[in-house]
Structure 1
Amino acid sequence: MWQRFSLYDLRVIGHYLGVLVLFSTLALLVPLITAVVCGEWQPAKNYLVTIGIALIVGSALRFLRIEPGRLNRQQALAVTGFAWIVLAFVASIPLYLSGHFASYLDALFDGVSGITTTGASIIQDLDHLSYADNMWRFMMHLLGGFGLIVVALSFGLFGKRAGASLYSSEGRSEHVVPNVVQTTQFIAKIGMAFIIVATGICSAICLFIGMEPLRAVLQSLWLSISGFATGGFAPMSQSVMYYHSFPLELVLMLLMLCGSINFVLHSEIWKGHIAVFFRDLEIRTMVLWLAVMTCVFAASLSASLNFSDLPAMLRRGVFMVISAFSTTGFQNITTNQLTGALSSGAFLVVAILMAVGGSGGSTSGGVKFSRVGIIMKSIIATIKEALAPDSARVVVSYNHVGRRMISPEVVKEAMTVFTLYAVTYVIGSLVGIAHGYEATQAIFESVAMASNGGVSSGLASPGMPASLEVFYIVQMWAGRLEFVTLLALIVEVIVSFKPRRRILPFGKEGAR
């Protein structure tokens, strides 16, 4: 039964939100230090102001409740749901102060896009953005890609009692090790290892193509963060096209693939359980799905004059397939080519790839392979039951870090989230069409926002209608929370505002 939030609940929620806001000041120190080292004094002032605001807001919320305690499920859902919005408002302050956004709403759009690792951006004159502001854009990807709660828990915030509730409320149910804090630390270590190695390789490539050392290292770091976090922000307005480097694109493709794989499966590889990895339902679903969609995409591309030759098809086509399915959003073709040069079939394939997304428990968005695989298994079970004798008992199992049985509860959860994503894609498409845009572009953009895919057809741009911009912000937020947390939060807020029913003394009912 739903229970309304009490004053005590609100104080607890505010307390934990305050801790997260205070924790965000550590991330803000990174662009501040970058600004000081690079002699960018105006951005340095902007980050000092933002840190000051975060300290004031965080401290005010933090002292709503001082004594520690275990969060119940309702409180944890509220903390997680509100954290993504509260921190997005804080993150958008230095973006707006940079002077590269037409309004604060535009800066908030990029702040939400960065935190949710969507990667869609409406920044102006990106090529001349300061090093500090660029650093902050990718720090948002780092926080959001690993998960705000995961990052906070990896630093030992909240403790074990509250940590377990918060970890589950962020849509994570699997543990690399039994201890939640150690699990989050393992996730952080694996992610940073990939990013550091990729940064070294990309730096060598950028130096080889003629970049100066500092710029080469910084841009390599940013691309590596964005690639593994499946974020999609790029330091240059032309995205990956700017570098004209196939080796760089190859490294980023491998990084996006690694980022879209469940961290639990990374741990199985780390332990040497290679067979477990390749038997996993998610991996098998991913291989089959990518094989089919790549063939369809290649067939569609072959009909286009711009991509009719095999090298161009392989280089641009495969990169876009991996970027779309991992919901990263890197582009090695222009937006005009995406909407004009690609055939309608190839355009639709990119949207479908973003809609499904990568593995559960990874940094990617979308419906996730785990749910698609379970739904396919449930269809197989239904067919087997229809064909089996009445006396037979049909059991369908799947592998995911051990052998598991398909149960009605697992299928129901998968179908619920799948349906919520589909409904959100449709509603977003209708909103785009209502604003006067073409149906195909409206559908594509809605999928890109709700799946946190980030590949844009051009609708998300400076000057778009404010109502559409707000709706896209809500879509990015809802998609990152995977709807269940969001819907539970909305219901509890509504219940809290519902007036309490007065209980009259016995015998007074008939007098009304």
Structure 2
Amino acid sequence: MWQRFTLYDLRVIGHYLGTLLLFFAALMALPLATALVFQEWEPAARYLAAIGITMVAGCSLRFLRIEPGRLDRRQALAVTGFAWVVLALFASFPLYFSGHYMTYLDAIFDGVSGLTTTGASLIVDLDHLSYADNMFRFAMHALGGLGLIVVALSFGLFGRGGGASLFSSEGRSEHVVPNVVQTTQFIARITLVIVSVATVIITALCLFMGMEPTRAFLNALWVSTSGFVTGGFTPMQLSIMYYHSFPLEAILMVLMILGSISFVIHAEVWKGRPLPFFRDIETKTMVLWIGVMAFVFTATLALSPFDDMLALLRRGLFMIISAFTTTGFQVVTTNQITTAFSNGAFLTLAFIMAVGGASGSTAGGIKFSRMGIIFKSIVSNVKETLAPDSARVVVSYNHVGRRTLTPEIVKEAMTVFILYVITYVIGALVGIAHGFEAIPAISESVAMTSNGGIITSVAGPGMAGTLELFYIFQMWAGRLEFMTLFALIVEVVASLVPRPRPKERS
């Protein structure tokens, strides 16, 4: 029997959402400061107004809760599920009034894309966007890539109540250390160190390419942040192709791979124990999957109109890494993707994005751990079929320690896998129903649900509202990995359906 949200539940949920909104208002101070430093007065006015609106909403929601208490599982699911959409709505205010969006829905789309680190953008004239607006776009990436709840917990915003419930409700079950707050602080610390080092190196490269110091530093900071959190936003319309620099591409490839590795593995390496990385089922699955798909993708590009084989391999390797980490960086133009790439290349990139990176990382998609578990379950079934009736087959695997494959683990992996595939298919059918070719519609649907961001000709400024709304739903569902979202939907529906009145006794 499904439980309904009571008035007390709604007040608790509103209180925590208000806390997140106040934190989001504080985050908007970063683009506001950027606007003031560079004397961008119009963006400064927009972000000042947005901060005021967000703070008023946040304070109002905070007052909904009176008595203290811990979050239960249902309340935590609701806070996490609603947070991604609520924050995106408030993010759309300063974005839309920048004048770089054709419709308000386009600005909401970019807000959801930024926070879910999908990286697909409907912005117009990106090359002339203000420093402040760019800073806000990449701040959203940093917040969403690490996880709204992870960042909030690392700052201790929720106190001692409900930290574990909120952490797990965001699709995270593996702790770097036993304490949830310490785990989130470690994730933030790792990110800061890696992004800082990459920013210094890329700044030097940009200076060597002839950029002025300020612009070099900002471009380096933005692409480093976007690369590690596997976001996909870039400050230029041509994405990474704009820089025409193989050393920069090589650094970003390393960053994207680091971002797609579980933070638990980062912790093991940080402690001087690299062996768990090589033994982990996700690493083995990644090597096998990417090896096969890289061969297929290279074969599909053999007849593509690139200058030479070196250029072919360079661009192909970058696009494969961008796809499997679900980052969305591109070193080919959208026109080349839609005209020069074969249908095989389209589908290969879609398959790579569909699986995604490691669990407990910043990447999206089905995740290597689930694919490895499904493969292990097939091996287990084959062994059981061949074994004598009296034999007991036990299959184990390495994933943050030695584990035994159980029916519950296989069931969870298969459930999420099936939900992703169903959403990929439905999204493709929605695209086809709006008049697009099948292959681009499939690729676009996978890019949205996996938060991959490599888009083609389907998603664009001023697109059909119904298709755009469905893509927003796909980004939201994919970031929450379905279970949190579906549990939230069931709870909301159960609360809205009127209860039957008890029959009066005669």
Shorter chain as denominator, the TM-score bin is over 0.9
Question: What is the distance in 2 between the residues matched to 1:192 and 1:361?
Answer: 17
CA displacement at 1:408 relative to structure 2: 0.5
Aligned 8 A contact 2:126 2:235 in 1: yes
Report SS of the residue matched to 1:257: helix
Are the counterparts in 1 of residues 126 and 236 from structure 2 also a CA contact under 8 Å? yes
1:112-168 CA-partner distances (Å, limit 9, x unpaired): 000000000010010000000000000000000000000000001112331111001
Post-superposition Cα deviations, 1:55-113, rounded to whole Å, max 9, x if no partner, equal 10000000100332111111000000000000000111110111111111110010000
1:160 is paired with a residue whose SS is coil
- SS of 1:404's equivalent in the other structure is strand
Deviation at residue 272 of structure 1 after TM alignment? 1.2
Secondary structure at the residue paired with 1:463?
coil
**What does residue 268 of structure 1 align with?**
268
Establish whether residue 383 from structure 1 lines up as the match of residue 354 from structure 2.
no
Structure 1 residue runs of 4 or more that deviate by more than 6 Å after TM superposition: none
Residues 160 and 180 in structure 1, CA contact (< 8 A), matched pair in contact too: no
Instruction: Tell me the distance in 2 between the aligned counterparts of 1:372 and 1:139.
Output: 31
Give 1:124's aligned residue: 124
Contact 1:425 1:450 in 2 (8 A): yes
For residues 226 and 424 of structure 1, what CA distance do their matches in structure 2 show? 26
Instruction: Determine the structure 1 residue equivalent to 2:329.
Output: 330
Higher mean displacement: 458-467 or 375-384: 458-467
For 1:478, the equivalent position in structure 2 comes to 477
Task: Look up the match of 1:401.
Answer: 400
The one-letter code sitting in structure 2 at the alignment partner of 1:226 is S
- Aligned ranges 1:163-182 → 2 under 5 Å: 163-182=163-182
Query: Can you list the C-alpha shifts for 1:252-299, whole angstroms capped at 9, x where unaligned?
Result: 000000000000010010111111111011111111111111111111
Contact 1:154 1:185 in 2 (8 A): yes
1:27 to 2:58 alignment: no
Give the conservation status (yes or no) of the 8 Å contact 1:102–1:462: yes
Pairing 1:236–2:239 present: no
Distance 2:58 2:305 in 1: 56
> What RMSD in Å do the two structures reach over aligned CA positions?
0.9
> Which runs of 5 or more residues in structure 1 are unaligned?
none
Does the CA-based 8 Å contact 1:231-1:329 persist in structure 2? yes
Partner SS for 2:161: helix
Alignment correspondent of 2:49: 49
Match of 1:455 in 2: 454
Query: Which residue does 1:13 correspond to in 2?
Result: 13
- 1:271-350 alignment to 2 at 5 Å? 271-306=271-306, 309-350=308-349
Q: Which AA in structure 2 matches 1:229? A: V
Tell me how far apart the structure 2 counterparts of residues 129 and 451 of structure 1 sit (CA, whole Å).
27
Q: TM-score under structure 2 normalisation? A: 0.99
Corresponding residue pairs, total: 506
- Identity, % of aligned pairs? 68
User: Partners in 2 of 1:355 and 1:85 — Cα distance?
Assistant: 23
Cα pair 2:103 2:462 within 8 Å, conserved:
no
Taking the aligned partners of 1:2 and 1:114, their CA distance within structure 2 comes to 33
How far apart in 2 are the matches of 1:159 and 1:389?
55
CA drift of 1:310 comes to 2.1
CA distance in 2, matches of 1:262, 1:161: 26
2:453 is the counterpart of 1:464: no
Q: Which amino acid aligns with 1:401?
A: V
* Partner-residue secondary structure (3-state), 1:161: coil
How far 1:312 sits from its partner (Å)? 1.1
The question of whether the paired residues in 2 share the 8 Å contact of 1:260 and 1:364 is answered with yes
SS of residue paired to 2:397: strand
Q: Partners in 2 of 1:446 and 1:127 — Cα distance?
A: 26
User: Which amino acid in structure 2 is aligned with residue 436 of structure 1?
Assistant: G
Say whether the 8 Å CA contact 1:160–1:181 is kept in structure 2. Answer: no
Q: TM-score, normalised by structure 1?
A: 0.98
Secondary structure at the aligned position of 2:430 is classed as helix
